[in-house]
Amino acid sequence: MKPVYLKPESLKDVVTSYCPGCGHGLVHRLIAEVIDELKVREKTIGIAPVGCAVYAYDYFNFDVAEAPHGRPPAVATAIKRCLPDRIVFTYQGDGDLASIGTNEIIHAANRGENITVIFINNANYGMTGGQMAPTTLPGMRTTTTQKGRDSKLHGFPLRVSELLATLEGTVYIERVSLIDPANVIKTKKAIKKAFSNQLTGTGFSFVEVLSPCPVNWGLKPLEALKFVKDQMIPYFKLGILKDKTEEMKKEKGA
């Protein structure tokens, strides 16, 4: 009998430390499937963030480095410049990428580094126990906004994809979600495109995944998906924010 569902070779056969219903594990799997399908496992170098995904090297079955908090884009820049034919990607949460590491992500994007960035937006700081993130929604309760985020005090949620789309150096930017199987498939398609672009040397590709964090949100896994759908998506609109892929491919003769 032909098996229809196997563990991707790019994932190790281990139990992750992620909470039930967390989006990280799912996105890890999608990345692993894409890397298998593109047959680049043996030339991929991943950069883990500081955040819940810090242990990504325990889960991915390829080379992984753990960067200081927020610095994965700087680390990835150097790796890609030293080894241009390898596949280099960063995997970052919203504290890592949109707060402490805003400088690094903006400049890596603006330089048009030929890397892939997978950005997990779960609207809070998961690893440190659910504090406010730059992406926390107005009125949303976190351990440091116990009465709900007050935009007068804490400003507004940062739309990183929109921000990066304004930069000349970026090629492909899409925001996706994991709210149902159809959207999971869309997410995988976006991730695959973001990695394929690197293979053709097309340039900086960025996928923002709206990801559930049931434990820190105080919701059950299904309720958390509903929260993404009803609360997050209206603020963080899904879809392609920028796509110069075909244009860049022509330019490169790819």
Partner 1 sequence: MNKNKRLISGNEAIAEAAIMAGCRFYAGYPITPQNQIPEYMSWRMPEVNGVFLQAESELAAINMVFGASLTGTRAMTSSSSPGISLKQEGISYMAGCELPGVIVNIQRGGPGLGNIQGSQADYFQATKGGGHGDYRMPVLAPSTIPEAAELMMAAFDYADFYRTPVLLLSDGILGQMMEAVEFKEYKPIKKLVKKDWILDGARNRVPRSIFSLMTAPGALEKHNWKLLEKFSKMEKEVLSETYLAEDAEILVCAYGIMGRIGKAAIQMARKEGIKAGLFRPITLWPFDSKTASLYGSKAKKVLVVEQNLGQMVEDIKLAVEDSKKVFFHGRPGGGVASKEDLFEKIKELIK
Least separation in angstroms between residue 93's CB and partner 1 is 15
Can residue 54 be called a binding residue for partner 1 (CB under 8 A)? Answer: yes
Residue corresponding to tokens 């199987």 = 181
Cα 162-180-223 angle, rounded to 5 deg: 90
CA distances, 101 to each of 3, 29, 73, 87, 210 (Å): 42, 25, 8, 21, 18
Q: Which is nearer to partner 1, 61 or 177 (CB)?
A: 61
Least separation in angstroms between residue 243's CB and partner 1 is 26
Q: In 3D, which of 107, 96, 100, 110 has the Cα closest to residue 56?
A: 96
Q: Are 38 and 200 in contact (CB under 8 A)?
A: no
Which position among 62, 125, 172, 206 is part of the footprint of ligand TPP (CB under 6 A)?
A: 125
Q: Are 167 and 109 in contact (CB under 8 A)?
A: yes
Q: Element (H or E) spanning 132, and its range? A: strand 131-132
Least separation in angstroms between residue 64's CB and partner 1 is 5
- List the single partner that 79 binds among ligand TPP, partner 1, none, CB under 5 to 8 Å by kind: partner 1
Q: Are 75 and 108 in contact (CB under 8 A)?
A: no
Q: For residues 65-84, which are near partner 1 according to CB under 8 A?
A: 65-68, 71, 74-79, 81-83
Can residue 38 be called a binding residue for ligand TPP (CB under 6 A)? Answer: no
Can residue 86 be called a binding residue for partner 1 (CB under 8 A)? Answer: yes
- List the single partner that 133 binds among ligand TPP, partner 1, none, CB under 5 to 8 Å by kind: ligand TPP
Binding residues for ligand TPP (CB under 6 A): 49-53, 69, 93-96, 120, 122, 125-128, 133
